[in-house]
Amino acid sequence: MRQHCVAYLDCTWILIQLVGHSTFNDEQRRLSVYAAMFLPLRKTMYKDRKAKDVLVVNYIFRDSLKQGVSNAETVGLSLFLSTD
């Protein structure tokens, strides 16, 4: 799993470098990196304190990064990255 996260992150960073930093603003670069890093975790579930199933990515954004679940939705993890 770790190797996939690193590989996706590396590919995204190379793509950003190839198309140039000016193509993406800071927010777009940040969200692209999040999307690449969390892609392998898109279907992984976690049981929270109330024994409710929560996507690991949402948990990471909300409780670890203190960013809010809206970032996970903006990145598209719950919308288009959850496809088979």
Helix (H/G/I), strand (E/B), else coil: 43: coil
Domain-embedded: residue 23: yes
pLDDT confidence of residue 60:
81
Q: Could you read off the pLDDT tens digit of each residue along the chain, which spans 84 residues?
A: 678 778 888 888 888 888 877 788 887 888 888 888 888 888 889 888 888 898 888 788 777 777 666 666 666 544 444 444
Residue-range definition of the domain harbouring residue 64: 2-75
Domain-embedded: residue 84: no
DSSP string, 50-84: TS-EEEHHHHIIIIIS---HHHHHHHTTTTTTT--
Domain-embedded: residue 30: yes
pTM of the model: 0.62
Domain-embedded: residue 39: yes
Domain-embedded: residue 67: yes
- Please report where in the chains the tokens 């919308």 appear, as a residue: 79
pLDDT confidence of residue 84:
47
pLDDT confidence of residue 74:
65
pLDDT confidence of residue 78:
47
Q: How many domains does the chain have?
A: 1
